[in-house]
Amino acid sequence: MSINASTPTVPAPETKLPKVGTTIFTVMSQLAADHDAVNLGQGFPDFDPPERLVEALARAMRDGRNQYAPMSGIPSLREAIAEKTERCYGYRPDVDAEITVTSGGSEAILDAIHAVVRPGEEVIVLDPCYDCYEPAIEMAGGVPVHVPLDPHTFAPDWDLIRAAVTPRTRMLMINSPHNPSGAMLNADDIAQLCALLRDSEIYLLSDEVYEHIVFDGARHESVLRYPELRERAFVISSFGKTYHCTGWKVGYCVAPPALSAEFRKVHQYNTFCTFAPAQFAFAEMIRDEPEHYLQLGAFYQPMRDRFREQLLTTRFKPLPVPGGYFQLVDYSAVSDLDDAEFCRWLAIEHGVAAIPLSPFYGTPPAGQRLVRLCFAKSEATRDAAIKRLEKL
């Protein structure tokens, strides 16, 4: 049968995700490329992963580790994750029932939400929040309920969160160290969180992808440290952040057996399994060089400190950075443009790409003059950016 040119064309689909466009990270990286700007926007290191890890990956591929991995992850990697988790947080998850290796933290977030959130159920997110949360909730038919963090300290307001809970609340999502602010939950927050969730059936999704990037001797309050919280939690990690290889997209989820079982039903028919050669490489790296993740804060701290010192020579005011690899700066002494306009102007006219905060909010706070800079960059990149910022 020939194709008839007059056949009515299929109408363009009515979008299921009307709020979703190109992500701000892609937009800013494109602007950076078009205008030869120093890219402190998208959150990735511009230096290489450890040589040993790259070697292990190449070896795994040469050794024929190129076919499907087991659905939940290769046993030696799940063993290594269990050991690492015990060492860091005093809890050893069950290797077979509680750990699932995923294609990055993003896949794990989507799987966890789809595993438990039904159409019409509410998920509380704390704004500003990472941009994949809301669409993941909406794709599951859930309703995102945005609760603002304190606009200055980015600490949770537990009274506000409590007030947002309804009989339809299915999940609360938290993120510490926090993207974009670097704020971290403290022991008091954990006590408040326990009190809030106690006697409820609300699940917790704890996004801990920056878990090892903490500064000044602070302790990362992983949900996995607390039996009362971990019994209802999906805890999400990313090797991309820990091993300077965001493009490999490998992460994992630790959750109790019943939650992991539902999580795996989604994972199994989403990706089925994660890039096998990298799993062998991470298993080896975690086992043979625990210093890497144990000293990641010490690795990044000089970068953070120097970047903050350099910022003092500009009119940008740096906010505190307890964890993560982002520096928020207040630009109100430089411009009164809103943050999205400011970032466009900064990239096009002054050659520095930054990320505005407003896309991280359901409703951005009026008059906020903050942008996010990533300091996980070589000294040359940071110096080049500071030189440009000093002119403003």
| Minimum distance of ligand PMP from residue 234's CB (angstroms) | 12
| Minimum distance of ligand PMP from residue 312's CB (angstroms) | 26
Residues near ligand PMP (CB under 6 A) are 43, 104-106, 130, 175, 179, 207, 209, 238, 240, 246, 249, 251
Show contacts of 5-13: CB within 8 Å, 24+ apart.
none
- CB 278 within 8 Å of CB 258: no
100 vs 175, beta carbon nearer ligand PMP: 175
Name the residue with tokens 């490998």: 250
Name the helix (H) or strand (E) containing 172: strand 169-175
Contacts of 247 (CB under 8 A, 6+ apart): 44, 240
Position with the least CB separation from ligand PMP: 104
- CB 219 within 8 Å of CB 208: no
**CA 370 from chain center: how many Å?**
19
| Minimum distance of ligand PMP from residue 261's CB (angstroms) | 22
C-alpha span between 262 and 258 (Å, rounded)? 7
281 vs 334, beta carbon nearer ligand PMP: 281
| Minimum distance of ligand PMP from residue 2's CB (angstroms) | 46
| Minimum distance of ligand PMP from residue 13's CB (angstroms) | 26
245 vs 276, beta carbon nearer ligand PMP: 245
175 vs 260, beta carbon nearer ligand PMP: 175
Helix (H, G, I), strand (E, B) or coil at 124: strand
- CB 210 within 8 Å of CB 324: yes
| Minimum distance of ligand PMP from residue 236's CB (angstroms) | 7
112 vs 334, beta carbon nearer ligand PMP: 112
Q: The tokens of 212 are what?
A: 């090892």
57 vs 386, beta carbon nearer ligand PMP: 57
